[in-house]
Structure 1
Amino acid sequence: MNSNLVETLIGAVVLAVALFFLAFAYTAAGVGSGLGGYELQARFNRADGLVIGGDVRLSGIKIGTITRQSLDPQTYAAIVAFTVDERYQLPEDTAVKIASEGLLGGNYLSVEPGGSDRMLKPGEEIRYTQGSVNLMDLIGQAIFSATGGGNDAKAGEGAAPQNELSPLPK
């Protein structure tokens, strides 16, 4: 009987510690921070690296959260929906770009407010956007341009330029 009581008390302590860590992780992650606000959306040609729950930042300060991502079936553009804290009213000519936290970090939405007197209303779309940049493509372009691009005199007269797509041989 005595060992059952000890085991029950140890189990209760373990549960209390687990609940404490769960509450700590919930508040530290900003999930319950109350950054509700109003929803806006933006279209991008590329939305690489964005995740639902990711940050929306203005001047490096988090003002919102990415809530949804979808693909427009007609234009194949990435549509990203996000919330902005209602304390921050954004002008209609605001620009949004996908920025990187660093070489190994994730991406976030960077908001650059415009100068218009008219403010965006909930549900509106931001017109000025800049999609993500593929780092591997940039490195490839830098290497390609540093080596002369393969368009030198040795390529031959009728050879297709190296930077254009040519059909595969049959």
Structure 2
Amino acid sequence: MAENAAEVIVGGLVLAAAAGFVLFAAQATGYAKRTGGTYPLVASFRSVEGISVGTDVKLAGVKVGTITALDLNPKTYFADATIDVKKNIALPDDSAILISQEGLLGGNFVEIVPGGSPDNLKPGDRIEDTQGSVSLISLLMKFVSGQGGTPKPDAAGATGTPSP
């Protein structure tokens, strides 16, 4: 009988751990929060490199939403990102949105820069002012190859007078 009691206790602990894992997974993926409380916005980016569905959307460093869909616009060949923003966040209709990086080795996130308009974005509206991701590799390649930064002086020198 003592063996049966131990098996029941261990079984209960396993079930409790499984339930805890399911709750954690639902919270971590945002599944529990998708049942209302947000409104969708759309933004077109030249490049969405580094972000995917589920990427955080932040305002002043605080998470206010997530990316829920990424689609290619066949007319403009830009990437349309659908963003779910918390309902209690009213964004001016001249707000900007950009893809930022959390430091040199950190991941990417989407940042909203609020505008100053008295009118707010409504569900389904499009954010017009966007800036896509900047590839760190391409910036480093420009720097190494000498294509970035200040222009080099010409053969005549910086003053424009011929050199002797």
Q: TM-score, normalised by structure 2?
A: 0.79
**Separation of aligned partners in 2, 1:37 and 1:131:** 23
Instruction: Give the secondary structure class of the aligned counterpart of 2:32.
Output: coil
- Match status 1:16 vs 2:16: yes
8 Å Cα contact 2:47/2:132 also seen in 1: yes
**Separation of aligned partners in 2, 1:77 and 1:30:** 26
- The alpha-carbon distance between structure 1 residues 115 and 126, as it changes in their structure 2 partners (threshold 3 A), is same
Amino acid paired to 1:44: F
What is the count of residue pairs matched by the alignment?
A: 149
- Match status 1:125 vs 2:102: no
8 Å Cα contact 1:36/1:83 also seen in 2: no
Gaps of 5+ in 1: 147-151, 154-170
Amino acid paired to 1:90: L
Amino acid paired to 2:22: L
Amino acid paired to 1:84: V
**Separation of aligned partners in 1, 2:75 and 2:30:** 36
Q: Which residue of 2 aligns with 1:97?
A: 98
Deviation at 1:110, TM superposition (A): 0.4
8 Å Cα contact 2:29/2:54 also seen in 1: no
The sequence identity of aligned pairs, in percent, is 44
Amino acid paired to 2:124: G
Q: TM-score, normalised by structure 1?
A: 0.77
Q: 1:115-146 CA deviation, whole Å, 9 max, x = no partner?
A: 11221111010000000000100000000117
Amino acid paired to 1:122: P
CA RMSD of aligned residues (A): 2.5
**Separation of aligned partners in 2, 1:33 and 1:93:** 27
**Separation of aligned partners in 1, 2:61 and 2:51:** 16
Amino acid paired to 1:85: K
Deviation at 1:29, TM superposition (A): 5.8
Q: Which residue of 1 aligns with 2:63?
A: 62
Which stretches of structure 1, 4 residues or more, deviate above 4 A after TM superposition?
28-31
Amino acid paired to 1:68: A
Q: Which residue of 1 aligns with 2:142?
A: 141
Larger mean CA deviation between 81-90 and 122-131 belongs to: 81-90
8 Å Cα contact 2:59/2:112 also seen in 1: yes
**Separation of aligned partners in 2, 1:77 and 1:18:** 42
Gaps of 5+ in 2: 148-153, 156-164
Q: 1:97-116 CA deviation, whole Å, 9 max, x = no partner?
A: 00011222221110001111
Deviation at 1:9, TM superposition (A): 3.1
8 Å Cα contact 1:44/1:79 also seen in 2: yes
